């Protein structure tokens, strides 16, 4: 069974942070995972590569949780990136 978009985002975040996949959930906040702004940039680059998308800088700076990352990636993958609200 193929991974869902949510599972892929979680896998990318876990891999980029070198933390167990089980430690990351959709409800995880970056602060709770000890993800700082530099780590957040690395995650954004990894997500862009994984999904072949371009996350706008201003939107990327507002991502503070796994759910926001999932929702933002989903919007970009679906082609509605212009109206992405990643707050």
Task: Note whether residue 84 is domain-resident.
Answer: no
**pLDDT number for residue 79:** 84
The residues assigned a catalytic role are: 36
Task: Note whether residue 60 is domain-resident.
Answer: yes
Task: Specify the number of domains making up the chain.
Answer: 1
Task: Note whether residue 73 is domain-resident.
Answer: yes
Cβ atoms < 10 Å from Cβ of 83: 6
Return the CATH number at 32. Answer: 1.10.1200.10
Task: Note whether residue 87 is domain-resident.
Answer: no
Asked if residue 62 lies in contact with residue 68, where contact means CB atoms within 8 angstroms, the answer is yes
pTM: 0.87
**pLDDT number for residue 85:** 43
Task: Note whether residue 85 is domain-resident.
Answer: no
Q: Note down the domain range covering 44.
A: 5-79
- At 24-35, the pLDDT tens digits run 999 999 999 999
Task: Note whether residue 86 is domain-resident.
Answer: no
């Amino acid at each position: 069974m193929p991974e869902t978009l949510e599972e892929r985002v979680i896998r990318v975040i876990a891999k980029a942070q070198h933390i167990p996949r089980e430690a990351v959930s959709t409800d995880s906040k970056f602060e709770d995972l000890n993800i700082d702004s530099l780590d957040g940039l690395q995650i954004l680059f990894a997500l862009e590569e994984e999904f072949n998308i371009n996350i706008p800088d201003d939107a990327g700076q507002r991502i503070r949780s796994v759910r926001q990352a999932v929702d933002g990636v989903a919007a970009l993958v679906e082609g509605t990136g212009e109206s992405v609200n990643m707050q």
